Amino acid sequence: MSGDTSRGGAATGNERSDRGFDPAARLAERERQSLRRDLTPIADVTARAPIADDPGNAPPVFDGPEQLIFAANDYLGLAGDERVQRAAAETAREVGTGAGASRLVTGDTPAHRALERDLADTKNTERALVFSSGYATNVGVISALGPDVVFSDELNHASIVDGCRQAGAETVVYDHCDPSDLRAEMDERAGATPAGSDESWLVLTDSVFSMDGDVAPLEAICDVVESFGAWLMVDEAHATGLYENGGGAVQRAGLSDRVHVQMGTLSKALGSQGGYVAGSESLVEHLLNTARSFVFSTGLAPPAAGAAREALRIAREDDPHRERLWANVDRLRDGLEAAGYEVWGETQILPVVVGDRDDAMALDDCLRDRDVVAPGIRPPTVPAGTSRVRVAPMATHTEDEIDRCLAAFREAGRELELV
């Protein structure tokens, strides 16, 4: 019969179709749009280190000067702390270097359980559950809850956005950090919902926003959420460990009993790897049965769990790390503003907003020329007209290093006529 095809063959008389992919063309398009990025290896995870050019598949060569790193999320500098490193090594010896399996099989170890008890105590909840990453936590938790409708802050992290997509929920985006707009959106949805509907609603917000450095008005958001009988999930990735007793912004505001789902990471202020969710006993039991990114992933490596637990212990104590971090934040913010820069936010994340994307990337380059690493951030990561250099000091930066960073900003700003 005309047009018949054999298994694996092409239709008679037709030329072969190319149904593959062309990564090189896609890379060229990113290059044309000035969006291509490289991997630039760093010699070690500290406040100061040499950085190599991207070597491709070859070993990195660290032959340049030491750079001051104002680009990491290791806010307390605990990734290089000897106590944390020792805890990781001891856990590796006692438990193993890897979990070996999903935690529902044989990968659930004493290291995981001890960390989860401490996290639950810190977050003032009944239980906590540790995932392999913060990204996996958000995607797994949101999709496992399976809300009918989510109300999401417009600047929420990409992992929250992807969690909403995987959940298949109708997503309503409300204006950034605006409880009034959240209430208006929920009012509108309530008016369009038939009486007696059992539709489930989940409100999602970061606590500290990673690009703007601001804090969600959590108490006002709780008021709105409660007035509609909805649930609230707060992402504490950039807040965990930075406030009293090692808590996040939820604890600082005294709202532990009003936030149904508290999520966070172990890879930022706690200097390790992984993510966690904290809440009620029934919530955790539900998630460990249904969150696919937990069920079908090998458990977090035990040394990472041991390191995170020790870092949390340090953060919960009256440790000088936290005091030094906030002193560095104040010194840097005051100096940048005195130099003529516009600095947004109110946290340890200092966005130096210059507006134009080319100016932001030129400032990034000029700072690197002066051995300061602070990344330029441009659309689509941030809205058009708000390109910036994101500055993130660490507790382990010295006053002299903060002053060197400020001097680099002043010199680069004058060179580029930005200040």
Catalytic residues: 210, 238, 268
Which of 293, 331, 288, 274 lies closest to 133, judged by CA?
Answer: 274
Rounded Cα distance between 313 and 303, Å, is 15
Phi and psi for 234 in degrees, rounded to 5? -120, 130
Report, in this order, helix, strand and coil percent for the chain, each rounded to 5. 40, 15, 45
**CB burial class (10 A; 0-12, 13-18, 19+) of residue 115?**
buried
Can you read off the two tokens belonging to residue 57? 């598949």
CA 135 to chain centre: 8
Can you read off the two tokens belonging to residue 130? 């540790």
Which of 342, 321, 387 lies closest to 47, judged by CA?
Answer: 321
Can you read off the two tokens belonging to residue 275? 């993510």
Residue 203: strand, helix, or coil: strand
Cβ(413)–Cβ(340) below 8 Å:
yes
Can you read off the two tokens belonging to residue 56? 């491709």
List, in sequence order, every beta strand (DSSP E) within 207-360: 231-235, 261-265, 275-279, 342-343, 350-355
Q: Within the chain, how many helices (H) and strands (E) appear?
A: 14, 14
- Sign of the C-alpha dihedral computed for residues 84, 89, 95 and 98 taken in this order: positive
List, in sequence order, every beta strand (DSSP E) within 42-183: 48-49, 67-69, 127-131, 149-153, 170-174
Identify the residue whose tokens are 């209430």.
183
Describe the crossing of helices 302-316 and 82-94 by its angle, rounded to 10 degrees.
140
Buried b (16+ CB within 10 A) or exposed e, 187-207: eebeeeeeeeeeeebbbbbbb
